[in-house]
Amino acid sequence: MPGRFGRVLTAMATPFDQDGSLDLDGAQRLAQHLLANGTDALVIAGTTGESPTLTFEERQRLFTAIVEVAGGDRVMAGTSTYSTAESVELSEMAEKAGAGSLLLVTPYYNRPPQAGLIEHFTAIAGSVGLPCMLYNIPSRSACLIEVDTVLRLAEHHNIVAIKDAVGDMAAATRIWRETGGSLELYSGEDKNLLPLLSVGGVGVVSVLSHLVGPDIAELIRAWEAGDTATALRLHAENLDLFEGMFATSSPILLKAALAQLGLPGGPLRPPLVPATPAQEEFVRGLLDRHNVVRPAGLSG
């Protein structure tokens, strides 16, 4: 059975106009495209959405615009930063904007101890009436939520899921075992989706669902139905795409792919830079090999 947020959550790119300003019309069109192509819910203002470059006011406008076209239950707002007070303020704003849930990333740069993580996440989760998903990604944040800390946080009534970008299947198994599956496990990396499903995972917060959303949804449904051969085939067929699109800092190659497919995306905000000509050609080759074609009726 799918998790409470569905099987496939897309960590949505944030479209910008050529002058770098927020493209709300493009964001709404991209959201609608994703929801029609394998996505169950949208994660807005996450890493893929270039959240560090978004102002408070831009996040507010973005959350409101996506809720308008998707409905609040299908919108998960990224609201956690390295400041607990700022995270609480962002979370309260997202709730008022109509978001149905929150994604809470580990504080980055200041590297709090485990006791600090408990205080941070507990303060945010207690400030709103929304279900929250923890986001464990030490490769970006230099801060790991240890298994015992995850288990402590899972006791909070609003903390109901975790996005696992650690890739430690033994640790994930312990979380599943000790919570009885009540804290739902979502893969934070497309390439680790199938392994995580095998140890109790229920879905994925995906970047590649921008491109192959129906395949990713089918992979999870096949696994749930006991058709492990189909799940493995889809995993293997898409593995080059799952890995290749992260050959440089994300979402550089994703935005190159969106442009090639005519989907809303636009430029990146500094300090990220556009794909080089060689990277553009690499992306074009990946799309061609995986038969990812320009969708009809939608341009960026």
Which tens digit of pLDDT belongs to each residue from 246-294? 999 999 999 999 999 999 999 999 999 999 999 999 999 999 999 999 9
Mean pLDDT of 28-38: 98
Query: Domains of the chain by range and CATH?
Result: 8-225 (3.20.20.70)
**Model pLDDT for residues 155-169, shown as the tens digit of each residue:** 999 999 999 999 999
pTM comes to 0.96
Among 106-110, 200-204, 283-287, the range scoring the smallest mean pLDDT is 106-110
Residue among 10, 59, 6, 56 at smallest CA distance from 32? 10
Q: What is the pLDDT of residue 2?
A: 79
Mean pLDDT (the chain) is 96
pLDDT at 45: 98
- Distances in Å between the Cα of 191 and the Cα atoms of 128, 188, 196, 240, 273 are 33, 9, 10, 9, 25
Residues noted as catalytic: 135, 163
CB 298 within 8 A of CB 33: yes
The predicted structure's pLDDT at residue 297:
65
pLDDT at site 3:
86
Instruction: Classify residue 236 as exposed, middle or buried by CB count within 10 Å of its CB (0-12, 13-18, 19+).
Output: exposed
pLDDT of residue 298: 58
Judged by average pLDDT, the poorest of 30-34, 136-140, 156-160, 275-279 is 136-140
φ, ψ at 238 (rounded to 5°): -100, 0
Q: Compute the residue count for the chain.
A: 300
